[in-house]
Amino acid sequence: MAENNQDPTRGGTAFAPWVLPGLQKSEFTKGFADRILTHLKELDETCAEARGFNKVTRLEHCLQTGTLAHQAGEGEEYVVCCVIHDIGDLLAPFNHGEFAAALLEPFISEKNRWLIANHHAFQGYYYFEHIGLDKNMRDQFSDHPWFQYAINFCDKYDMPAFNPDMEYMSLDDFEPMIRRLLMAPKKSIWVPNPP
| Each residue's pLDDT tens digit, 72-101 | 999 999 999 999 999 998 898 889 999 999
pLDDT of residue 81: 98
Compute the CA torsion angle 77, 81, 84, 85 (nearest 10 deg). 170
Pairwise CA distance, residues 89 & 53, whole Å: 14
Parse the chain into domains and list their residue ranges: 26-182
- Does the pTM surpass 0.85? The reply is no
Nearest to 90 by CA among 122, 150, 125, 48: 48
Contact assessment for residue 179 and residue 24, using Cβ atoms and an 8 Å cutoff: no
Mean pLDDT for the stretch of residues 104-133: 93
Nearest to 116 by CA among 144, 78, 90, 76: 78
Pairwise CA distance, residues 76 & 107, whole Å: 12
Convert the pLDDT of each residue in 4-49 to its tens digit. 444 444 444 444 444 444 555 677 777 899 999 999 999 888 665 5
Predicted confidence (pLDDT) at residue 137 exceeds the cutoff of 60? yes
pLDDT tier for residue 2 given thresholds of 50, 70 and 90: very low
Distance (Å) of CA 8 to CA 2, 28, 177, 188:
9, 18, 35, 21
- Please give the CATH topology (third level) of the domain spanning 26-182: Hypothetical protein af1432 (1.10.3210)
Pairwise CA distance, residues 41 & 191, whole Å: 29
pLDDT of residue 16: 44
Pick from 87-101, 119-133, 145-159, 176-190 the range whose average pLDDT is largest: 145-159
